[in-house]
């Protein structure tokens, strides 16, 4: 397994921006597809975005397309989630996840995940 640590969450006003980071250790980062999921209070965990191991392919939930951007820096073992035009509905704990198979990861069937970082959007 790869160990994941998220950072960058916080409180932001609606319409604002945040950038989340997730740093990995323990395995060869470039072998893993990476993704972000979120879970709001009383709701199921939902897929947000994913990126292939090479960074050549990205995937987004419809609810965040055009507002969020996932990227990775394999030299720094880090994946990012840039979130623009934040809405109150984006309030959730955001989790970083990793799996060797991006299709499995997108389905929520991943092998590693972090402890999460809280994002709160005030309206």
**Sequence-distant contacts of 58-64: CB under 8 A, at least 24 apart:** 59/102, 59/106, 63/89, 64/90
> Helices in 47-121 by DSSP H: which ranges?
102-106
Q: How much of the chain, in percent, has pLDDT values that exceed 70?
A: 100
Given the DSSP bridges, would you call strands 78-83 and 68-73 parallel, antiparallel or unpaired? antiparallel
Query: In the prediction, which pLDDT does 1 show?
Result: 82
Query: Is residue 65 classed as helix, strand or coil in its secondary structure?
Result: coil
Q: Looking up tokens 């509905």, which residue turns up? A: 89
Query: In the prediction, which pLDDT does 56 show?
Result: 96
Query: In the prediction, which pLDDT does 81 show?
Result: 98
Terminal-to-terminal C-alpha distance of the chain: 38
The band of 115, judged by pLDDT with boundaries at 50, 70 and 90, is: very high
Query: Is the C-alpha dihedral spanning 102, 107, 112, 113 positive or negative?
Result: positive
Q: What is the pLDDT of residues 25-67, one digit of tens each?
A: 988 999 999 999 999 999 999 999 999 999 999 999 999 999 9
């Amino acid at each position: 397994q790869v160990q994941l640590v998220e950072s960058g969450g916080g409180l932001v006003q609606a319409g604002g921006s945040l950038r989340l980071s997730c740093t990995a250790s323990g395995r060869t980062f470039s072998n893993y597809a990476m993704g972000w999921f979120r879970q709001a209070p009383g709701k199921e965990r939902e897929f947000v975005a994913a990126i292939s191991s090479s960074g050549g392919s990205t995937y987004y939930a419809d609810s965040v397309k055009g507002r969020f951007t996932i990227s990775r820096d394999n030299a720094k073992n880090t994946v990012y989630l840039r979130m623009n035009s934040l809405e109150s509905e984006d309030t959730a704990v955001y989790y970083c996840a990793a799996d060797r198979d991006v299709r499995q990861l997108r389905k929520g069937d991943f092998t590693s995940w972090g402890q999460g970082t809280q994002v709160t959007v005030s309206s």
